[in-house]
Structure 1
Amino acid sequence: MSTERCIDVAIIGGGCAGITAAFELTRPEHQGRYRVTVYQLGWRLGGKGASGRGPADRIQEHGLHLWMGFYENAFRLIRECYAELKRDPATCRIADWRDAFTPDPFNGIMDWSPRGEWSPWLVRLPPAKGLPGEPGNESPRASIADYLARSLEMVRALVLSAEATVAGREPEVPSAPTGAGNPEALMESMSRLLKYGQFATLAAVVEALGLMEVALGTLRRYPENLLLRFHDAVSTALRDQLARLLGTDDRLRRLWEIIDMILAVVRGGLRFRLLTDPRGFDAIDDYDCREWLRLNGASEGTINGAFVRALYDFTFAYEDGDVRRPRVAAGQGLRAAFRAFYSYRGAFFWKMQSGMGDVVFAPFYEVLKRRGVRFEFFHRLEEVRLVTPERLGPGERPYVETLEFDVQARVAGGGEYQPLVDVRGLPCWPAAPDYQQLEEGERLEREGWAFESHWDRRKAGTRTLRVREDFDLVVLAVGGGAIPYVCKPLVERDERWRAMVEHVKSVPTQACQLWLSASMRELGWQEPPINISGFVEPFDTWADMTHLASEESWPQPPASIAYFCSVLPDVPEAERARPAFPQEQHERVRRNAVRFLQRDISHLWPRAHGEGGGFRWDLLMDANASPEASANMQGEARLSSQYWAANVNPSDRYTLSLPGTLKYRLSPLDNTYDNLTVAGDWTDCGFNQGCVEAAVMSGRLAAHAISGAPRLEEIVGFDHP
C-alpha cells in the first residue's frame, strides 16, 4: 500500500459519466490513492438512465434505452464490472453481462409512402464479427477514406439488389472490386472511363464504383479533382440507369434513397476535402446534416425521407424540441452514422434484459461499494464556488473552494442509506425511496416530497464541503442542463463557461410505457419484436419490450409491453420557472399519449382500434387494481394505470449537437481550474452526442485528467491530437 496521502475526490452526479469516473479512479492499480465519494440527488443512481421498480415490480424507465454495438467503452466497463462482481448464476438470474444484454438485430423505420400511407421498412442487420467491449480485439482506427470506401461497397450491393428486385431474382453478392493495381494504373483507368463515358449499363456503373472504392481504400495521396469528376460522372449515370427502374415500388424507392444519400456523403467528403483535412469530420460541424447533404447533391426526397428522418428522431435532434427544426452538426452526424453501421460488433443493437438501473447501475453500485466508495444520497448541489481572485497566490490557478448542498433528507440513526431492493434475487432500484429509512419518513411520504424534482426545494438541512477538509478534487458530472443552476458564479466569471451555457442547448423528452393484455400479433403486428423509429409525433420511436414481462411480478403477466419515446417541444424559460410546470408537462404527455393511441397507433397495430374506431382502452393492464376494479374503469381513464414521463428536470434534458455549437463544449481534459474537471455527454469527449457511450468516454477522460489513467489511446474512439 502506498504511503502517500489519500486524495479525496468528490464526484457530483451518479449517471454514466460520474459512475465511470468512480470506477476508473478506484481500480486496484491505483492502490487506494483516490478516496471517492459520490453525491447524488434523491435515492438512486443513473441520471437519464435511471430506472425503478413500481407496482408489480414493473420496470419504469426515463425513456427507451438500447445500447448500440459500437459502444466499445461502455461495454468494456460493464464486462469488467460483472467479472468483478462474480454473481452466482445459481442464485441470481443476471449474473454475467451476457445475461444482462442480448443481441437485437431486427430494426425498422416507418416510411410515409407516396401512396399516402405509413408502412414499415424492416431490416435484419447481420451479426458483425466479435462482441462489443471484447479485450484484445481492437479494430484499427478507421479513417474517413476507409468509411467512404465501405460506403461505396454498400452502394454496389444496393445497386445489385435493386437490379435483382426488378428482375425478380435473388441479388448477387458484390465481388471484390477490380483494378487494385498500382496507383498510376488505377488513375489511368478512371481517366479513360471519364474520357469515353463508358457507363451505359448498370454492370459498368457497378464496376466503376469498385474502382472508386479501391482508390479511396488504397491511395495515400488523393487526386481529389479526378476522384470528384469521376464520382459525379458515375453518380449521374447511376441516377439515369435507376430512374427507369424505380417507378412507384416502395422497396426500390427506399434503396434509391440510401444510395442517393451515400453518393452525396462521398461527394461531400471529396468536395470538402475531409480525407486530408486534419480536423476530419469536425471541419463540417457548422453545417446541419440535411443542409450539407443538399449542398452535395442529395435529392429532396432523400433529405426528407424516412431514413434521414429516423436518424434525427433517434437522437432527439430538433432545436427547441420543434420537429419543424431538425438540426444536428453534419460532422458529428456522419461520425455517429459511420460508427453505428460500420463499427458495431455482434449486433447493431443490444437490448437489456431488465431495467437499465438493474443491469447497469446496481452492479456498478455493488462493485464500487466493495471498493470503498461512499455514496451520499439525497444531496442536491446548489452551488460550486471558486476561490476569489484576490486570494490566489502568484502563479496559482483558480480552484473550487466550496461545494454547497441542500440535504433533502437524513437517514434515521445517522447511518448510510441502503438504496436497493431484492426482486426475486436481483438487486434493483425502487421507483420511490424507502421512507422507513429516513428521519420523519412517514411525514415526507404523506407530504409528497419529490426528491428528483428541480422545483421541489424542500430540504432537511444544508451542507458545505470545503477544499482540503472534505475534498481535494471535484468531478462535476451533473447533467448539462443543470450547469446554469449549480455553477452560477463560475458561469458569470468565466467567458468559456458562459459561451458553453449559451450555445450547447438541450431539450426535454417524453416517454410512455404500456402493458397490454393482447400480444403484438393479436394487435396486428405480424413481424418479430422490433425497434422502430421515424414514426409520427408525438411518439416517433417504439420498441417491443415484451421480453421484460418475466422480469416483473404480475399475477397474470402482460401479453405485450411497448415503450415509446420522442422529443418534447420546449417552452420559454420563464414558463419553466413556475412551480406548477412539471405537473403541467406530465399532464401534457398524458394528453399526447391519449391522442397518439386514438389517432396513430393503428398504423402500427391495426387491431388496437375497435370496430367503432378509437383505441381499445380495455387492453391496458392495471398492476394495482383487482380484476373487478379494473373492469369498472372505462375509456381513457384506464391510461392512469400505465407509466409516462415528461423529462423536464434540467439534469434530465437531452443535450443536442447543434451545428456550430460543438466548439463551445468544455473538455474533461481542460485544466483551467486546479481541482475541477467535468464529465457528461455534454462535454467535448470525442463523440459529442447524447448517449451512453459519450458519457462513458467523458467519465474515462475525467479519470485520466486526475490520475493519468486510462491512457488516452485506451479510450476507444477518442481522436486525441
Structure 2
Amino acid sequence: MQNTESSKKKIAILGSGMSSLTAAYELSSYENWQDRYEITIYQMGWRLGGKTATGRGQNERIQEHGIHIAQGWYENAFRLIQDSYKECEKHNLMPDSPFKSWDEAFDREDTTLLTHFDPKTNQWIKKNIIFPSNEYIPGQGGPLPFSAIVKKAIGLVAEILFGTDPNKDSIIIKADTSLHSINTPEHHSLWSDFKSKFEAFVKEKVFKHEGEKLLHYVSELVDNLVKEGHDHVTRKDHHSIINEIFHVLAKWVTKLIDSIADHNEYFYWLAVFVEFGMVNMKGTFADVYNPETHELDYEKINDLDYREWLKSHGASERLLSSAMVRFLYTGTFHNLTGADQQGSLAAGVGLHFLTNSAGYKGSFVWKFKAGTADTMITPIYLVLKNRGVKFKFFHKVEQVHYSDTGSIEKISMAEQVTLKDGTYTPTYKLKGLDVWPGEPLYDQIDDEQAKALKEGKFDLEESWCGWKNVKEFSLEKGKDFDYTVLGIPIDVLGGNEGICKEIIANNTAWNNMYTHVKSIPTMSMQLWITPNLKELGMHLPDWGFPEGALPNLVTYADPQYSFIDMSQVLPYEDWGDQKPGVLIYYTGSFLDPEVIPPFSDHNYPHEQLERIMRISEQWLRDKMGWFFKNATTLEYPEGMKFDVIHDFSKIAKTDYARLKTQFFRANVNPTDRYTLSLPGSNKYRLKADESGFDNLIITGDWINFGVNVGYYEGAIVSGLQAGQVVRNKLGLPSETPIFSGVTLK
C-alpha cells in the first residue's frame, strides 16, 4: 500500500558537495522510494559539487577548485560514476554527450614522477615510477584484500631487488657481506617450516630465485592469517613469525641500504623504495594488525604522527626526508601542519591511505577528460533530477538551531536571489556536454538583481562577498522536513558566524569535534601555455615518461608542489585554431594570516588571491626552469619566461598582467578549505548517526567515515553512510555495500 502525500517523510539535505549528492543518490536508489519520502537539496549559489565544482571562463576554459583526479582504488566513486552513466544512458539524459559510457570519460595514466631535493648536491633529483596496469576494473568487486596488496608490494620489492639492472653486481657483493650478521629466530615454533627457505636465500642466492621465494613465502604467511579452518592460536603463531621475519629482514635491509645509498641516484632511490616498503610492512604487522581480533586497526596509531611512527620502527633520516614519505604529506595537504610547520599527519590515516592506494585497479591514475563537474557531477545531477529529487539553488543555510528536545526543530534559511520562474537550470550545452558556468546564469535571475550582481562583482559562493539576501525564512520540523542531512564543511559550522554555533555551544561532542578537526587553505593555478612540452624543453623520454604521457607529480618545491599536465581537457574548451600546446594545473597549501577577519571585511578573499598570485609569480620564476629549460632567461635561469603563457586579454603589457589572465583560486572560503587529519584528532570526529539529535544526520569529509582524509572518495563513503542512516531511521532496508577501505580478508 502506497503512502499518501501527507504521510511521506521529508528529507532536507543541506549542501551539495559529493557527500550530500551521494546521500541523495543512495536514498533515491531503492525501488519505490518516492512512496516513502521526498528529498530536497538546498544549495548556496548556482552550482553543485562543493570542492569538486567546475566553472567555465573565457574560451570556455575549465576552471577547477584544484587538481582532481580519480585513483584506481576509489571503489565507491567509480561505482557511483559507472551507475550514473548507465542510468543516463537508460533514460537518454545525455543524448549529445561525447562520453557514451563511463570509461570514455577518463584517460588512464600509469606513470608518476617523484622529485627530491638533495642538499649534498644542492639540486633536485627525479625518479619516474611506472605502476603496472592490471585487469581489474575499479568500482567492481570491492577493494582488493590486504593479502593481495601485500603480494603486490612484495612483488614490487622483489622487482627492485632481484630485477635486471646494470648496477646489480655491486649490490650483490654488499648484500653477501651484510648477510653474515643476521640472527635468525631459531626459537620460534614455526621456524622449522621457514628455515630451509631462509638458508637457501642466504647461501649466495640472495639475488636469485630464492630471494623471491622468500618474500613470497612471507605473503603466504599473510594468507594464513585469514585462512578458514585456522584457529586463534594458529593465526597468532603466524602473526608472530611474520613479526620475527620482518625484524630479521629489516635489520639486513638496513645494513644493505646504508652501504649503498650514497653511491649515486639509482642507489639512493633503491634504498628509499626498499626501506619504505619494509618499514611500513613491519610496522603494520607490529602495531596495526590485531592478533586478538585478526583485523587491521589503524586507529591504534592515530595519536602518532606518521613520520614519528616510521621512526619508531627504525626508519632512517634518509627515508623520513624522502619523496616517498613527503608524498603522503603533500598529497594530503599536511606538509605545513604541526608546531614546526614541517608536516603532521595521523599515522593510522596516512598508513591506511597508503595501503588503500596500493590496491589500485586498472591504472593508478584516471584523469577526467573534461572538467571534474562536467564528467562526474553532471550525470549524478541529471539522474537525481530525473528520479524526482528537488534542487533549491541560491538557498543559504543561516542557522541549524539547537533544541533540547533531542531533535532539530528549526533551520533558518535565506534566499540569495529571486529567480524569474522560481526554478533554476544550472547547466548549458557545450560540445554535447552539460557544463557548469563560472558565474550564475544571470538571464534566469531577476533583471535588477542580476545587474547588481554583475556590476558589484558579487560572488554568491563567497562568505565575505557582502551581498544582501533577498528573503529570510525558516524550515520547520514536521512541515518542511522530518530528517535533515547536514553536508556542509566543518569550518562553516562554528565561530561567531557559524551555522551550528548554537549546537557547538551546547553540546560537548560537537565542541570537541569543531575544536580538534582542523583545516588549511589551498591554492590553485591553471596555466594555458602556448608551446608544447617538447618545445618548452621537457623531452618526456628523458624524464622516464613514454611519448604521449601526461606528467604528474606531488612532491616538488613549495608552495605549488603538485602539478599535472591536463591537456586532455583542451578539446572540451573552445579554442578554434588557437589551442595551447599544454595545460598545466598546479596546487599547494598555504598558511592563514594570524587573524582571519570577519565576513564584514569584503576585501579579504581578494587580498588572499593577490597574495597567492604574487607567490606563484615568484615560484614560477625560481622553480620551473628545471622542467622547461627552453623557457628560461638570463635573468631567471632557474625559472620560466612568461611570454610562453597564453594572454587571454591580448593586451597584457607586463609579465604579471599576462599571468593574471590565467585562473587562480585562493581557497580561503570556509566551504573550500581542506579538512586535515592531525594526530590525536580522529577520536573527536562523530559518525553519521552520532549528531546527538534523532533527526540530524551528518556527512562530509570531516566526520568519522573510516579513512578520514580529505578526498572525494571519502566524501562519497560518508554520503553512503548518511543515506543508510536515514533509511535505518525510517525502518527501511539498505542494500548498497560500502567499501570503507582495505580489510585483511
Normalization by structure 2: what TM-score?
0.87
Equivalent in the alignment of 2:536? 523
| Cross-structure match for 1:175 | none
Q: How does 1:458-477 map to 2 (within 5 A)?
A: 458-477=468-487
Residues 105, 124 of structure 1: 8 Å contact kept: yes
Whole-angstrom CA distance in 2 between matches of 1:470 and 1:375: 14
Of 343, 346, 354, the match for 2:362: 346
| Structure 2 Cα separation of the partners of residues 658 and 241 of structure 1 | 34
1:306 is displaced (CA, Å) by: 1.0
1:181 is matched with none
Q: Does 1:260 align with 2:268?
A: no
Distance 2:482 2:248 in 1: 62
Residue 610 of structure 2 corresponds to 587
CA apart distance, 1:634? 2.8
Aligned to 1:19: 21
CA distance in 1, matches of 2:343, 2:491: 20
Match for 2:451 among 442, 445, 463? 442
Change (3 A) 1:615 1:665: same
C-alpha distance 202-638 of structure 1, shift in aligned 2 (>3 A): same
Aligned residue number for residue 79 of structure 1? 82
Q: Contact 1:6–1:35 (CA<8 Å) still a contact in 2?
A: yes
Corresponding residue for residue 172 of structure 1: none
What secondary structure sits across from 2:31 in the alignment? helix
Which residues of structure 1 form unaligned runs of 5+? 170-183, 393-397
Once the two structures are overlaid, the 10-residue window that deviates more, 645-654 or 276-285, is 276-285
Distance 1:695 1:306, change over 3 A: same
1:92 aligns with 2:97: yes
**In structure 2, do the counterparts of structure 1 residues 124 and 270 end up closer, same or farther at CA, with 3 Å as the change threshold?**
closer
Q: Is the 8 A contact 1:150 1:213 kept in 2?
A: no
Taking a change above 3 Å as real, the CA distance of residues 322 and 565 of structure 1, as seen in their structure-2 partners, is: farther
Match of 2:727 in 1: 707
- Provide the residue aligned with 2:565 in structure 1: 544
Structure 1 residue 424 and structure 2 residue 431: aligned?
yes
Match of 1:312 in 2: 329
1:400 corresponds, among 408, 418, 434, to 408
Q: Which residue of 2 aligns with 1:409?
A: 417
What is the distance in 1 between the residues matched to 2:674 and 2:711?
A: 9
Choose 323-332 or 360-369, whichever is displaced more: 323-332
Task: Tell me the amino acid that sits aligned with residue 394 of structure 2.
Answer: F
> What amino acid is aligned across from residue 358 of structure 1 in structure 2?
D
Cα distance in 1 for partners of 2:288, 2:710 equals 27
2:383 to 367, 370, 392: 367
In the alignment, which residue of structure 1 is the partner of 2:677? 657
Q: 2:701 maps to what in 1?
A: 681
Q: What is the distance in 2 between the residues matched to 1:437 and 1:400? A: 33
Residues 719 and 495 of structure 1, relative CA distance in 2, 3 Å threshold: farther
What code does the residue aligned with 1:359 have?
T
Are 2:231 and 1:202 aligned? no
| Counterpart selection for 2:590 from 568, 571, 574 | 568
**Post-superposition offset of 1:697:** 0.6
Residues in 1 aligned to 2:720 and 2:558: alpha-carbon distance in whole angstroms: 36
The C-alpha deviation readout for 1:307-341, integer Å capped at 9, x for no partner, is 11122111101355988331111111111111111
Measure how far apart 1:593 and its partner are.
1.2
SS at match of 2:539: coil
The residue aligned with 2:545 is: none
User: Matched residues in 1 for 2:558 and 2:340: separation?
Assistant: 8
In 2: Cα distance, 1:264 partner to 1:447 partner: 56
Question: How many Å separate the matches in 2 of 1:653 and 1:323?
Answer: 21
Cα distance in 1, alignment partners of residues 375 and 148 from structure 2: 35
Aligned-residue RMSD, C-alpha: 2.8
Q: In the alignment, is the contact (CA less than 8 A) between 1:209 and 1:234 conserved in 2?
A: no
1:123-272 to 2 correspondences below 5 Å = 123-134=129-140, 137-138=141-142, 142-143=145-146, 147-148=149-150, 150-161=152-163, 165-167=167-169, 186-190=190-194, 198=202, 202-203=206-207, 207-219=213-225, 220-223=234-237, 224-272=239-287
Asked if structure 1 preserves the Cα contact closer than 8 Å seen for 2:157 and 2:277, the reply is: yes
**1:238 aligned partner, one-letter code:** V
2:236 maps to a residue whose letter is Y
Amino acid at match of 1:237: W
Deviation at 1:255, TM superposition (A): 1.9
CA distance 1:301–1:646, change in 2 (3 Å): same
Q: Distance in 2 between matches of 1:534 and 1:149?
A: 26
Whole-angstrom CA distance in 2 between matches of 1:580 and 1:407 = 23
Please give the alpha-carbon distance, in whole angstroms, between the structure 1 residues aligned to 2:288 and 2:571. Answer: 53
Q: Equivalent residue of 1:704, what SS?
A: helix
| Deviation for aligned residue 1:620 | 1.4
**Alignment partner for residue 622 of structure 1, among 640, 647, 671?**
647
1:513 to 508, 526, 549: 526
User: Could you tell me how far apart the structure 2 residues matched to 1:547 and 1:481 are?
Assistant: 34
Residues 1:95 and 1:302: Cα distance change in structure 2 (over 3 Å): same
**Does the 8 Å contact 2:336/2:590 carry over to 1?**
no
Q: Which runs of 5+ in 2 are unaligned?
A: 172-187, 226-233, 541-548
Q: For structure 1, which segment, 613-622 or 463-472, has the greater mean C-alpha deviation from structure 2 after superposition?
A: 613-622
1:280-291 alignment runs, 5 A limit = 280-291=297-308
Letter in 2 for 1:352: F
- Classify 1:361/1:270 alpha carbon distance in 2 versus 1 (closer, same or farther; 3 Å): closer
Distance 1:277 1:338, change over 3 A: farther
Whole-Å separation in 2 of the counterparts to 1:710 and 1:54: 44
1:27-46 to structure 2, matched below 5 A, reads 27-32=29-34, 33-46=36-49
After superposition, the Cα gap between the structure-2 partners of 1:710 and 1:97, relative to the gap in structure 1 and judged at 3 Å, is farther
Give the drift of 1:128. Answer: 2.1
Residue of structure 2 equivalent to 1:101: 106
Work out whether residues 321 and 568 of structure 1, in 8 Å CA contact, stay in contact via their aligned partners in 2. Answer: no
Q: Decide whether the 8 Å contact of 1:110 with 1:118 is kept in 2.
A: yes
Equivalent residue of 2:275, what SS? Answer: helix
Contact persistence 2:201–2:211 (CA under 8 A): no
Q: In 2, distance between residues paired with 1:586 and 1:322?
A: 26
Aligned twin of 1:598: 621
Give the equivalent residue in structure 1 for 2:174: none
- Note if contact 1:208-1:234 (Cα within 8 Å) is conserved in structure 2: no
* Conserved 8 A contact 1:701-1:712: no
Q: Find the residue that maps to 1:235 and give its secondary structure.
A: helix
Q: C-alpha displacement at 1:612, in angstroms?
A: 4.2
Separation (CA, whole Å) in 2 of partners of 1:324 and 1:160:
39
> What residue in structure 1 maps to residue 185 of structure 2?
none
Secondary structure of the structure 1 residue equivalent to 2:568: helix
* CA distance in structure 1 between the partners assigned to 2:313 and 2:50 by the alignment: 39
Aligned-partner Cα distance in 2 for 1:211–1:148: 11
Q: Is the 8 A contact 2:524 2:587 kept in 1?
A: yes
